[in-house]
């Protein structure tokens, strides 16, 4: 299977970007040359490269022994624990395709992933952050009877213990995956009613990981603190945990991203770099002086996922005693970094430039016409690690990609003379809640099911801490009674959506502002007085 047109695939191979290796080589190689070196630290557990490699082999055998086959999908919802990598690499070695769910996802998202991906299995932890994922899994099995089985890390309850999969020996798969095939399905931040799945191949992802590790200067000495959810593209690949493995460094897992937890881990594990969303970076910077932790090992703080204001950017490096790097990326592909040798002003005021010389970037107007250099417009991109379409979504792909394969990012940017991008805004119908993406339509669809709701429009409102929060403007059905804002928020939660999608604010209005052709003008709603 090829996910790119043959002519482009040939070009990316000829350029040396795609090497034909599978992603698990990032651990396999070091397991051979430096077996005893520590790959992952999770609390008091330290797994060497050899141990992680052996566990991944056993897990691959376990998945196949349970009847899963190459190309089958599994929904993977694990928190930041060492087993995340055991299962991830195990699945990849078996050719089983993980769907990278986040720990915050709930019934609506997980059921949808299981159903849409026709998943053979759902893999969860027993409990995490006070939430019982087995109860969630039970609801999902009722909603999606076709789901084969639930595999649980920890106390399995009525389900299959992960432990059982480890006992199948480690016979190598008879039909190993190929590098140009589908490796896993990443999640789109989304701007439509249903989340989209992003088909990433070994070849394309490994290229982005390898180059990211070089750009970010990773070495075997690097110690990466994974504080964001491990499944997200930023901490997974930019350069993240996979980039750290590739370089032969060590990944330290933070059970939660609070300053108390994270700053203590930096001191104890001598962490050298980490990647954060802007609100977390600011929270750490604010907590650092009073925390009394030795942060002298920290060399690099990466910030991305949402726009970092220049004013905030100026504070971060000095507060944490390290270098700052801005990262502007997307699960669909393109990742931009400011570089170590960029002038300080560039690091403070831009969101970086692309990884690859073969990343094609166009900045266009509403009619897809290229704008003059330096003008602000829609960012379109195509390249050796940017996908050509969402998984099984031909109708959406026809609008989300140009005919010649450029991805419409939905971001509004301008390019500086040095090729650095500055994110100026967003054209997609999404709220970026401190890096967590909320598709307005997904929340609107749930609220429209409420008996008192006639119409609803969810938009972003500016927020000092998160950058943006969500506000649902609601037109009530005449005579249907007046719910309280809190009732509508509970309704969204009861609809099974992740907590971060629950509107922060609910406002009742009698009409929406309209655009010239009579559509709801979200732009005018966003600037509506509070």
Nearer to ligand OOB (CB atom), residue 49 or residue 391 = 391
Cα–Cα distance measured from residue 486 to residue 483, given in angstroms and rounded to the nearest whole number: 8
Nearer to ligand OOB (CB atom), residue 224 or residue 512 = 224
22 binds ligand OOB (CB under 6 A): no
Strand partners, 468: 462
98 binds ligand OOB (CB under 6 A): no
181 binds ligand OOB (CB under 6 A): no
CB 335 within 8 A of CB 208: yes
Nearer to ligand OOB (CB atom), residue 324 or residue 447 = 324
CB of 303 to ligand OOB, least distance (A): 7
Residue 304, token pair as written in the block: 């991305």
Binding mask 431-460 for ligand OOB (x = CB under 6 A): -x----x-----------------------
CB of 481 to ligand OOB, least distance (A): 38
Strand partners, 301: 274, 324
Nearer to ligand OOB (CB atom), residue 177 or residue 389 = 389
Q: What is the DSSP letter of 96?
A: -
DSSP string, 431-450: EEETTEEEEHHHHHHHHTTS
Burial 196-209, CB ≥16 within 10 A → b, else e = bbbbbbbbbbbbbb
253 binds ligand OOB (CB under 6 A): no
# residues contacting ligand OOB (CB under 6 A):
22
Residue showing the smallest CB distance to ligand OOB in the complex? 329
Cα–Cα distance measured from residue 213 to residue 192, given in angstroms and rounded to the nearest whole number: 33
φ, ψ for residue 493 (rounded to 5)?
A: -65, -45
CB of 239 to ligand OOB, least distance (A): 10
Binding mask 280-319 for ligand OOB (x = CB under 6 A): ------------------------xxxx------------
Q: Which of residues 185-244 bind ligand OOB (CB under 6 A)?
A: 189, 233-234, 238
How many Å is the maximal CA-CA distance in the chain? 73
Residue ranges of alpha helices (H) inside 229-322 are 233-237, 240-247, 259-269, 278-291, 310-320
Cα–Cα distance measured from residue 18 to residue 10, given in angstroms and rounded to the nearest whole number: 9
Binding mask 315-334 for ligand OOB (x = CB under 6 A): -----------xxxxxx---
Nearer to ligand OOB (CB atom), residue 137 or residue 198 = 198
Positions in the binding site for ligand OOB (CB under 6 A): 189, 233-234, 238, 304-307, 326-331, 335, 351, 409, 411, 423, 426, 432, 437
């Amino acid at each position: 299977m090829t996910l790119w047109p043959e002519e482009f695939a040939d070009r990316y191979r000829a350029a040396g970007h795609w090497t034909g290796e599978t992603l698990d080589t990032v651990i396999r190689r070091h397991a051979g040359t430096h077996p005893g070196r520590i790959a992952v630290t999770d609390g008091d557990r330290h797994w060497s490269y050899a141990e992680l490699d052996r566990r991944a082999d056993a897990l691959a055998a376990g998945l196949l022994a349970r009847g899963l086959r190459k190309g089958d999908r599994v929904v993977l919802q694990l928190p930041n624990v060492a087993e995340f990598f055991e299962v991830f690499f195990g699945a990849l070695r078996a050719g089983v395709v993980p769907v990278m769910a986040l720990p915050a996802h709930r019934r609506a998202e997980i059921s949808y992933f299981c159903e849409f991906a026709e998943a053979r299995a759902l893999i969860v932890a027993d409990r995490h952050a006070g939430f019982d994922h087995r109860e969630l899994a039970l609801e999902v099995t009722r909603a999606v009877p076709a789901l084969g089985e639930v595999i649980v890390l920890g106390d399995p309850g009525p389900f299959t213990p992960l432990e059982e999969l480890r006992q199948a020996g480690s016979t190598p798969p008879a039909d190993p995956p190929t590098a140009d095939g589908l490796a896993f399905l990443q999640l789109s931040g989304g701007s439509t009613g249903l989340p989209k799945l992003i088909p990433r191949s070994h070849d394309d992802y490994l290229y982005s990981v390898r180059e990211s590790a070089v750009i970010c200067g990773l070495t075997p000495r690097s110690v990466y603190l994974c504080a964001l959810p491990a499944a997200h593209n930023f901490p997974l690949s930019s350069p993240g945990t996979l980039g750290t493995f590739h370089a032969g460094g060590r990944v330290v897992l933070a059970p939660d991203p609070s300053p108390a937890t994270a700053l203590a881990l930096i001191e104890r594990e001598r962490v050298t770099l980490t990647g954060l969303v802007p609100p977390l970076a600011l929270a750490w910077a604010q907590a650092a002086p009073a925390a009394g932790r030795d942060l002298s090992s920290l060399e690099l703080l990466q910030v991305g996922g949402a726009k970092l204001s220049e004013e905030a950017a100026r504070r971060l490096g000095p507060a944490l005693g390290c270098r700052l790097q801005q990262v502007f990326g997307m699960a669909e592909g393109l990742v931009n970094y400011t570089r170590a040798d960029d002038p300080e002003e560039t690091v403070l005021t831009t969101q970086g430039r692309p990884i690859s010389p073969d990343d094609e970037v166009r900045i266009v107007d509403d009619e897809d016409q290229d704008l003059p250099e330096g003008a602000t417009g829609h960012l379109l991109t195509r390249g050796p690690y940017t996908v050509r379409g969402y998984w099984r979504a031909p109708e959406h792909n026809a609008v989300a990609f140009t005919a010649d394969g450029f991805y419409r990012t939905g971001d509004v940017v301008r390019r500086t003379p040095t090729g650095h991008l500055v994110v100026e805004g967003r054209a997609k119908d999404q709220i970026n809640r401190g890096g967590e993406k909320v598709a307005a339509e997904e929340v609107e669809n749930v609220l429209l099911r409420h008996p008192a709701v006639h119409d609803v429009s969810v938009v972003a409102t500016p927020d000092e801490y998160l950058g943006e929060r969500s506000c649902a403007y609601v037109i009530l059905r005449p005579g249907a009674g007046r719910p309280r804002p809190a009732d509508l928020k509970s309704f969204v939660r009861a609809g099974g959506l992740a907590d971060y999608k629950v509107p922060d604010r609910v406002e009742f209005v009698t009409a929406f502002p309209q655009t010239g052709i009579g559509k709801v003008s979200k732009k005018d709603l966003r600037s509506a007085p509070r």
